[in-house]
Amino acid sequence: MRHAWMLGLFLGALLLRLFNIEQNNLNLDEIGVVLYAQSPLVDTIKQALAHVGSVPLDYVMTWLTWRALGHSDGILRLAPVLWGSLSVVILYAIGLRLFGHWPAAAAALPLALSPLHIELSRQVRMYSLGTFLILIVVWVFMLAIERKRWHGWVVFAMALAIALYAHYYTLFLLPAMLLWLVVFKRDQAVPFTLASITALILFAPWFYYDNIVLRANTTNTAPVHLWSEIRIHAPTITASIAAWPLWLLWLAAPVVAYTRRNQSLWLVWGISVVGLLCVLVIGIVSRYGIGGRHVVAFLPYFWLVLAGTLGLWITQRRMIALVAGAAIVAIVLFLPEVERLYYAPSHDYQAATQQLRWNIRPGEKIIADDPRWLWYYMSEYRGHAPWLHFSEWTPERLMQFGNRVWIVVVEKDRLPTWTPPAGWVFEPAYSVKGVEIYRFERTPELSMR
């Protein structure tokens, strides 16, 4: 029955993540990854290294997909879909080992139907792969604890090092795991520490360059008021994961773990607490931003805490009701997002580039607030789409590009607010889903074909 559940969860999660996968073109962040993946492998890794906070494994997987499978948007998203679907299965396997079959199923079902997890599993970004590999690290950690053999910790060190090269948030597992070992499995704390140090040494060169060398060149020195920022951003994190009544159950987990003397619940609750707090603090201090995509790596442990807490509360004969309740909650959270996930594209870059192809004349320039999608979907016009920051869109600067310049914006608040000089006109030319096309030209009358 357990294998049947694993297969069913995988196929269900796979279908939810594959359905209508090309309804949206690649977004700007995805395009950035794919543009790098078009280079030779060494150059792809160097380009990933050039960005603060980036890790290379996702870029390497996209590089392999581009060359082995194809270039369409759907093909490029197949690997993230696979990692997202496998994450549901691994979560079930972890829950099975810690709490039994029914709590494991009650945790896996909400993750399979999670709109946040589905959305990020359909993007060519690090989030799906990182979430999957962090789950693998937890799984291998459990096996090493149970078997108490040196080769188990060798495998753990290898899994940890690989996961670190997929997502920085893997680091947040270590304090929670070490604290749990010191309290409950003190004899395993030393091999865990040695394995962790080995993995950190393997990751150190990338971490040093990315976080010491590159960040030394940043100029953001604005003061951070941590506590006030936490109060502002904490509701964003909680709302992106689940409704507040479910958080009350999550808060009750330590009480249940203490009264039932359950070590497993302490482990997963500790991972979720430390992970979410670190995401919140790091996001505020680094000013990288805080949103659903930043906490998705710890979403599986939220659902596992809830399922484990209820599993310890209720009797064995009511376990099926637990799974049914989890399924109902998951469906209630999923249904309002169906339209957005599958049927309401937020942007159509291909239609915008087609419109530009019909109207652009030889030698004319295209100025965009972020030209990466133009470079990708209009690669033949890459030389005609320079990267000019929208703060530099002054009439004098634009006039240097010729008698007619196409201005393309994804974010309308970046549109110029100045009045065009005499003899020039700045007016909307065409609008497609998520993209506005304007023209700045010397002659006032030119019709769109």
Low-confidence ranges of the chain (pLDDT < 50): 221, 446-449
Q: What is the DSSP letter of 324?
A: H
| pLDDT recorded at residue 374 | 86
Token pair listed for 177: 């795991």
With respect to residue 449, please indicate whether it lies within any of the assigned structural domains: no
What are the residues facing 441 on neighbouring strands? 404, 425
| pLDDT recorded at residue 448 | 45
- 436's CB contacts (< 8 A; 6+ apart) are 408, 409, 410, 412, 415, 428
Q: Which structural domain, as residue segments, surrounds residue 437?
A: 349-441
What are the residues facing 438 on neighbouring strands? 407, 428
Q: Which residue is it, tokens 């442990």?
A: 301
Please say whether the beta carbons of 115 and 52 come within 8 A: no
Picking from 341, 368, 400, the residue at the C-terminal end of a domain is 341
Q: What is the DSSP letter of 401?
A: T
Neighbour-count burial for 65-83, b at 16+ CB within 10 Å, e otherwise:
bbeeeeeebeebbbbbbbb
Q: Give the integer Cα–Cα distance in Å for 124 and 167.
A: 14
State how far Cα 446 lies from the chain centre.
43
Verify that 157 and 288 share a domain, yes or no: yes
With respect to residue 429, please indicate whether it lies within any of the assigned structural domains: yes
- 131's CB contacts (< 8 A; 6+ apart) are 83, 84, 87, 117, 120, 167, 296, 297, 299, 300
With respect to residue 359, please indicate whether it lies within any of the assigned structural domains: yes
* Count of CB atoms situated within 10 Å of the CB of 445: 6
With respect to residue 446, please indicate whether it lies within any of the assigned structural domains: no
Verify that 45 and 84 share a domain, yes or no: yes
Verify that 122 and 56 share a domain, yes or no: yes
Please say whether the beta carbons of 356 and 408 come within 8 A: yes
Domain count, the chain: 2
Q: What is the pLDDT of residues 247-293, one digit of tens each?
A: 999 999 999 999 989 999 999 999 999 999 988 888 777 766 677 88
Q: Which residue is it, tokens 């597992």?
A: 173
Beta strands in 101-148 (DSSP E): none
Q: Residue 329 is inside which H or E element, if any?
A: helix 319-334
3-state helix/strand/coil string of 225-293: CHHHHHHHHHHHHHHHHCCHHHHHHHHHHHHHHHHCCCHHHHHHHHHHHHHHHHHHHHHHHHCCCCCHH
Picking from 341, 362, 388, the residue at the C-terminal end of a domain is 341
Verify that 109 and 160 share a domain, yes or no: yes
Verify that 382 and 245 share a domain, yes or no: no
With respect to residue 447, please indicate whether it lies within any of the assigned structural domains: no
Task: Name which of 272, 279, 234 is nearest 253 in CA terms.
Answer: 272
Angle between helix axes 78-98 and 299-313 (nearest 10 degrees) is: 30
With respect to residue 294, please indicate whether it lies within any of the assigned structural domains: yes
Token pair listed for 21: 């996968």
Verify that 315 and 373 share a domain, yes or no: no
Verify that 262 and 374 share a domain, yes or no: no
| pLDDT recorded at residue 64 | 96
| pLDDT recorded at residue 369 | 84
Verify that 208 and 300 share a domain, yes or no: yes
Verify that 292 and 233 share a domain, yes or no: yes
Task: Name which of 205, 191, 214, 99 is nearest 140 in CA terms.
Answer: 191
Verify that 211 and 246 share a domain, yes or no: yes
The pTM is what? 0.91
| pLDDT recorded at residue 410 | 86
Picking from 286, 314, 341, the residue at the C-terminal end of a domain is 341
